[in-house]
Amino acid sequence: MAMAGTVFVSGGSGYIAGFLIRQLIAEGWMVHTSIRNLAKEAEVRSHLGVDGTKLRFFAADLMSDAGWAEAMAGCSHVAHVASPLPADAPKHEDELIVPARDGALRALKAAKAAGIQRFVMTSSMAAVAYGHGGAKERFTEADWTDPASKDAYPYVKSKTIAERAARDWVAENGGDMEFCTVNPVLVLGPLQSGDFSTSLEAIKKLLEGSLPGLPNFGFGVVDVRDVADMHVRCLNAPNMAGERFLCSGPFLWMREIAEILRVGLGDSARKVPRRGLPDWLVKVSAWFDPVIRQVVGELGHVRDADTSHAQTVLGWHARPAKDSILDTARDMIRLGIVKV
């Protein structure tokens, strides 16, 4: 039987946090959560659709000390999910690195002061699979991104630096507080509202036909419900100190994702491109488009996650990727995020 106490989940308006809060409340936990601005509380509550008596909101921001102590008071566990993920390329990498790193350290310090027993941090495959020179295609928890490498674009750097800083802090100051990370790949799945995560952008672009073809990109995909479930397992399971778990389903190329959409959606996928986009063309467009420029290093790279550790230690398994991709697409159409 899973234990249940009072848990603090940071970034309560986020995509992963929403599913995490729902599952925790369904399993009997009391949840404290933070949002940057309490004026949004009613809106976030209505999206979450949970028993309101089990959920308390606090104002806290990654970049300020205010509110964190109050939010964690009375909690035994923390899931630190909040991290900056912008849709556009940042003007300067510090726009991502500073809030990601300082936010994690702020949350850890508050947790230690509040007597938190266990701290689960959402990191990323971005902290694992970059800067390995392209020779390596399958990764485990033992692998770390080299933030100095040229394929470590600002988001990748921010996740790597934040997780490293958190682990260093815990080693020095954590005492008996257990710390572990969940490192997801690209997160897909159902949408609760029109306010969707940047991670869903690839599916949106395919459905609306805004890409002239299919670039030679791929990514590991995982369902938001399975990411939330892994966090819950990390909050419940024994002996989590120092643990790290890759959270991934299969690695899929854009052409494979396009095919899943065409087969599963029929006429609604008619705008999904069919032909490949040559690498040289992607590289040329990177000169003009800062978003493409960030990910041009992904061309032709396989970054596949070995999740046997999470399967063995947590009993965790990913659902079929096809289900997640089609759930994302159907909700985008239903909510009018994409006009097909």
Contact 236, 24 (CB under 8 A): no
* Residue whose structure tokens are 């390995």: 132
Tokens of 135: 């020779």
CA distances for 32 relative to 9, 148, 300, angstroms? 6, 37, 42
CA distances for 161 relative to 94, 97, 147, 242, 326, angstroms? 11, 7, 7, 17, 33
CA distances for 153 relative to 59, 91, 140, angstroms? 30, 12, 21
**Is 204 one of the catalytic residues?**
no
CA distance linking residue 160 with residue 144, whole number of Å: 8
CA distances for 326 relative to 190, 233, 242, angstroms? 9, 26, 35
Catalytic member of 54, 159, 322, 339: 159
Instruction: Report DSSP state, residue 55.
Output: E
Tokens of 55: 């959920």
* Phi and psi, residue 55, nearest 5°: -135, 125
Contact 116, 76 (CB under 8 A): yes
* Phi and psi, residue 88, nearest 5°: -105, 160
CA distance linking residue 340 with residue 323, whole number of Å: 20
Contact 35, 62 (CB under 8 A): no
Contact 7, 79 (CB under 8 A): yes
Which sign does the torsion angle of CA 108, 112, 114, 115 carry? positive
Catalogue the active-site residues: 159
